[in-house]
Structures are given as C-alpha cells and as structure tokens.
Amino acid sequence: MTQDSHPGGDWLERCWRPFVEKHPERQDHFLTAGGLPIGPMQAHDLNEPGAGEFPFTRGIHPSMYRGRLWTMRQYAGYSSPTETNARFRYLLEKGQTGLSVAFDLPTQIGYDSDAPASLGEVGRVGVPINTIDDLDLLLDSIPIDSVSISMTINSTAPILLALLVALAKRRGVDPKKLRGTFQNDILKEFIARGTQRFPVEPSMRLVVDVIEYCQQEVPSFYPISISGYHIREAGSTAAQEIAFTLADGIAYMEACKNRGLDLVAVGRRLSFFFNSHNQLFEEIAKFRAARRMWANICRSRFGLTDEKACQLRFHSQTGGSTLQAMEPSNNVVRVTIQAIAAILGGTQSLHTNGWDEALSLPSEEAASLALRTQQIIAKESGIPDSVDPLGGSPFIEELTDGIEKEALSLIEDIDERGGMIHAIRDGFARRAIEDSAYRAQLDQDSGVSTPVGVERDGEIPDAPFSVDPAVEAMRKSSLEKHRENRDNDLVQNHLVKIEEAARGEVNMIPVMINALESGCTLGEICSTLTGVFGEFQDHG
C-alpha cells in the first residue's frame, strides 16, 4: 500500500506531508528490521481526526515520536544537595535529557531541616532545600538555561519558583531562558497525598500566583503539572485517576479566569502527570481518553478555540505502588510494561522506576537500568516509528470510549457537588479512592490479583540504599552557619514585607524572591505565611 492510498490519506495531506517537507530526512527513514517501510499510521479510522488534530485522541503532534522522542526525565533527590547533584550529573552523562527533583518531606511541607517537625525526615525521601545556597549546590555545574528542570513540589512551589529565579539572577541567567515544570498541584494533596500546609483558599491563591508570574516572567516554564499520579498511587482506578485530575484542572482554570488571566496563555502552559500501571491496554486507553476529554472541556467549558491551548501534554511515571519487595528483580518486567503503555499512549516525558524502589531509594545501578529501559524501547523496539500504532483497533477504541464515559460520569457528580473544591471539603473524592483501594487490596489478599512472586512467604532483601543519619546533623550545622553570616535585621524586614503581601492581594512571588536573596529560609517564609493564612487541619 502506498502512502497515497493509505486509508489515512486525508490526514497525510493535512498533517504528515507538511512535516516531511520541513524534515525531508525523515521521509524514508522508518523501516522494519526486514526492510518493510513503516507509514506514519498503519491503522487509521477515516471518521476520526488524526494525531495533531483536535481532540488529540491519537496524540498531540502529527509526527509524534517520528519527529521527536519523549523526554527521558529521571526523578532523583536524597540526603543532601551535593549528593543529589552528583546523581543528576551521572544521569545526564548516561543520556538523560531532563532533570526531575525529589524534595524531602520537610521541604515539601515548608519546614527547615533544623525545625523540630523535621526530626527524622531530613533527606529521607528527597533532597532538603532551605536556602538559595542549597539550590545553587543542587544545580552546581548544571546549565540552568539549557537543561529542563522539573520540580515535584506543591505547598512550597511558590518558594521554589522564587529560589530558582533568584538563582538565575545570581548566575546572570535571564529567567526567560529557564525551562521545566513545577508540579504546583495543591488540590491532589488534599485528595490523596497530604503535604498541604495552608487551607484550600490561600493554597489556591498561591497556585495562581505561580501561574501568573510564570506567564509574565518565566514564559518557557510550565507553572503547573496537574497530577493523577498520586491519586492512582492512593488506590484509585484508571477512570478515577483521569476524572479527578481533570476536575482539578477545571478548578485551576476557573481560578485563573477569576484572576483575569488569559486562558489561552494559561492553557498553552498547562501540563499533566499520570501514572502508568500494569494493565497495558487499559493504560493506553486511559491516556487517549484523557487527551480527548481535556480538549473537549477546554472548548466547551472555557470557550478556547486555540488548539494548542486545548492540548493535554503529560509526563508519566511507572507505578511505584505496583513494585514488590518480594523477588524485586521482577520489577524490571513490570516497569518495562508500564513504560511501553505510556509510550504507546503518547506521553511527552517519562520516568521509569528503579527495580529496587520497593526496598529503598534506588541504587545507582537500578537508576541506570531504569534509564536504559527507556533508551532500549526508543532505539530498538520500533514502537516510536508509528504515530499511533494501536489506533483503529476496535478493542482500543472501545476501551477508550468506556473509560471516557466512566470518567465523565464522575466529573458530572463533582459538578453537582459544586466543583472539585466542594468535593474535597465533603470528602467525596477521598472516599471514592479509599473504596477502590480497599477493593483492590481484598482482591490481592484473596489471590484474585496477587502479584507474581509474592504468592508465598519469603525473605525480603536488604535495602540497597540508606540515608546516613549524620546528614541531618550536617544540615542543621549548615543552617546555623547560614543564619550567623546573614544580615538578620534585613531578613526580618523582608519577612514583614511577606506578611504584608500575604494580607493583601498582590502576587507573592516578587516579594519572596527579594526575601530569599536577602538570606531568608524556606521555613521562615512558610512560618510567616502560616501566621496569616492559618494551617490546614484535617478532621477526616
């Protein structure tokens, strides 16, 4: 079959041929191992739009990975900024194409490493960042104007944005050259994760502050990554994952509209973050359904006609909750299946988990193998050579429709409750996730869905990595020296300005930048904000 007679010929004229004209070197590049040509689509439904066309069921780019591979963005962070920097540089040398920062719990919630609430948690699940000097060490010898940086941070996202801009100024880098993503998705913390510090309303204000500031001053950054990953990790189904995530997205869009922001500009810089689990075809269908749903939501609810503003761009990560401590080497297979699901589903960037993450933070060897997994799929499997390999499959199309129908029904329930913020307050979303998690655990315990390798009792291997207990003491010492060497009167003046800004309605980011440049710490800023906003109290 020639490309001219391909059933997707109309799509080829509209989307593929312009791409080939721009990149002629791509036209004849794609062949099977046996020398057979691979067309841009091997299956295409004449009654459906192609990849790159609204509502983007088949992908957001006409060429998908034929034009550019997904970003391989491995998540890392532990112990200290210096040690994490060494891991980042190791991964970049191995071919990683973007950084993804994991922060420890005190940093996520807004406590300095020497705070009583931080005891025992410093550097345990990520890197501690208290000051601009910490961030400078974390990104030492890394060109922040050319390497894309993703930060998984929510309650303290405004402070990390301010730190990054302050660091750019220190290094003489134009903030407009900074690229990357802030998670900045506080609503899923209330639903599924629990690192929220402030009540819902001021938390939403800070989310929009980040979006507004990035829109004006850091335009190449994605200021929010609306996350279904943690919703799925908490036990949701695939349909619940995308329903609650897109409902969060609706709430953020409404908040931006109320602020008076340009929704086209907002929509063009929104991104999403999804989980990828073991059920290969369900996961692929989930990603396709999410793209279509979001495109239609942007057009019907918010009147967006700009197609790029309606595109659902997403990062994905393989499922941490699926990893098993028993026979942990089996996790290599699980991660590979999940990575293939994300790629066949059209992800824009991907993190693959280390096989030993059910035991501890990943070892260097496991982190390297996780990255190699992506590289082998990219270079040896042939999967990226077709735009939408499973498009047109009756099974995939029917499964996509089914997940969309279930997810839309959940969004309708949320709408009837007054929107996602009300659904958070009345516990609807959390109860639904807990019910699904309970049913899944019953199935596992009964043997219906017990993972391979854990059907019998056995020994769990020793953890390959542990955080040195001395790290916490070193971090406390570093903070003590920092406070001794700064102008503490100047710091207090800036904290007063933060309090005044919090009591008003101005965007908080510029005043935070000034405060951090003067030597203020993350914990001091959060403590000041708590004095104005209060602290979230979970009453179940």
pLDDT of 366-398, one tens digit each?
989 999 999 999 999 999 998 888 988 999 999
Residue 499 tokens, joined: 């309090």
Residue predicted with more confidence, 446 or 249: 249
Residue pLDDT, tens place only, 85-115: 998 898 888 887 788 899 999 999 999 999 9
How many CB atoms sit inside 10 A of residue 163's CB? Answer: 25
Asked whether the beta carbons of 288 and 346 are under 8 A apart, the reply is yes
How far is it, in rounded angstroms, from Cα 523 to Cα 107? 8
Average pLDDT value for residue range 332-339: 98
Residue predicted with more confidence, 43 or 326: 326
DSSP letter string over 189-255?
IIIII----S-HHHHHHHHHHHHHHHHHH-TTEE-EEEE-HHHHHTT--HHHHHHHHHHHHHHHHHH
Residue pLDDT, tens place only, 109-165: 999 999 999 999 999 889 999 999 999 999 999 999 999 999 999 999 999 999 999
> In angstroms, what CA-CA distances link 143 with 55, 222, 350, 419, 508?
36, 18, 21, 42, 27
Range list of H helices, 37-131: 81-93, 105-109
**Close Cβ partners of 171 (under 8 Å, ≥ 6 residues apart):** 144
Reported as half-sphere exposure (CB side, CA atoms, 13 A), residue 194 has a value of 8
**Close Cβ partners of 194 (under 8 Å, ≥ 6 residues apart):** 538
Highest mean pLDDT among 20-34, 141-155, 293-307, 525-539: 293-307
Residue pLDDT, tens place only, 48-58: 788 999 999 99
How far is it, in rounded angstroms, from Cα 160 to Cα 307? 31
How far is it, in rounded angstroms, from Cα 436 to Cα 449? 14
Asked whether the beta carbons of 107 and 152 are under 8 A apart, the reply is no
How far is it, in rounded angstroms, from Cα 243 to Cα 409? 8
* CA neighbor of 205 nearest in space, from 508, 426, 419, 425: 508
Residue 335 has pLDDT above 90, yes or no: yes
Asked whether the beta carbons of 145 and 173 are under 8 A apart, the reply is yes
Residue 490 has pLDDT above 70, yes or no: yes
Asked whether the beta carbons of 91 and 342 are under 8 A apart, the reply is no
Torsion sign over Cα 358, 360, 361, 366: negative
- What is the separation of C-alpha 374 from the centre of its chain, rounded to a whole number of angstroms? 17
pLDDT confidence tier of residue 1, bands split at 50, 70 and 90? very low
Residue found under tokens 């390999």: 389
Exposure class string for 201-218: b at 16+ Cβ within 10 A, else e? ebbbbbbbbbbbbbbebb
How far is it, in rounded angstroms, from Cα 442 to Cα 430? 18
**Close Cβ partners of 497 (under 8 Å, ≥ 6 residues apart):** 511, 514, 515
Give the model's pLDDT for residue 283. Answer: 98
* CA neighbor of 182 nearest in space, from 250, 262, 101: 101
pLDDT confidence tier of residue 400, bands split at 50, 70 and 90? very high
Residue pLDDT, tens place only, 440-468: 999 988 888 889 998 776 678 877 766 77
Asked whether the beta carbons of 355 and 329 are under 8 A apart, the reply is yes
How far is it, in rounded angstroms, from Cα 185 to Cα 256? 14
Reported as half-sphere exposure (CB side, CA atoms, 13 A), residue 174 has a value of 4
Q: Which fold has domain 64-446?
A: TIM Barrel (3.20.20)
pLDDT confidence tier of residue 304, bands split at 50, 70 and 90? very high
Average pLDDT value for residue range 231-250: 98
Give the model's pLDDT for residue 42. Answer: 44
**Domain boundaries along the sequence of the chain:** 64-446, 487-533
Burial class (CB in 10 A: 0-12, 13-18, 19+), 255: middle
Task: Give 315's strand partners.
Answer: 273, 349
Residue pLDDT, tens place only, 22-45: 655 545 467 777 877 777 654 444
Give the model's pLDDT for residue 516. Answer: 98
Strands 270-276 and 71-76: unpaired
* CA neighbor of 81 nearest in space, from 479, 503, 525: 479
How far is it, in rounded angstroms, from Cα 99 to Cα 91? 9
> By percentage, how much of the chain surpasses pLDDT 90?
75
DSSP letter string over 324-392?
-SSSGGGHHHHHHHHHHHHHHTT-SEEE---TTTTTSSPPHHHHHHHHHHHHHHHHHS-GGGSSSTTTT
Average pLDDT, the chain: 90
How many CB atoms sit inside 10 A of residue 489's CB? Answer: 8
Crossing angle of helices 428-446/238-259, nearest 10°?
A: 160
Peptide bond into 55 cis (omega under 30): yes
Asked whether the beta carbons of 221 and 394 are under 8 A apart, the reply is no
Range list of H helices, 457-487: 470-485
Highest mean pLDDT among 331-345, 383-397, 469-483: 331-345
> By percentage, how much of the chain surpasses pLDDT 70?
91
Give the model's pLDDT for residue 5. Answer: 35
Name the CA radius of gyration of the chain, rounded.
Answer: 23
pTM of the model as a whole: 0.91
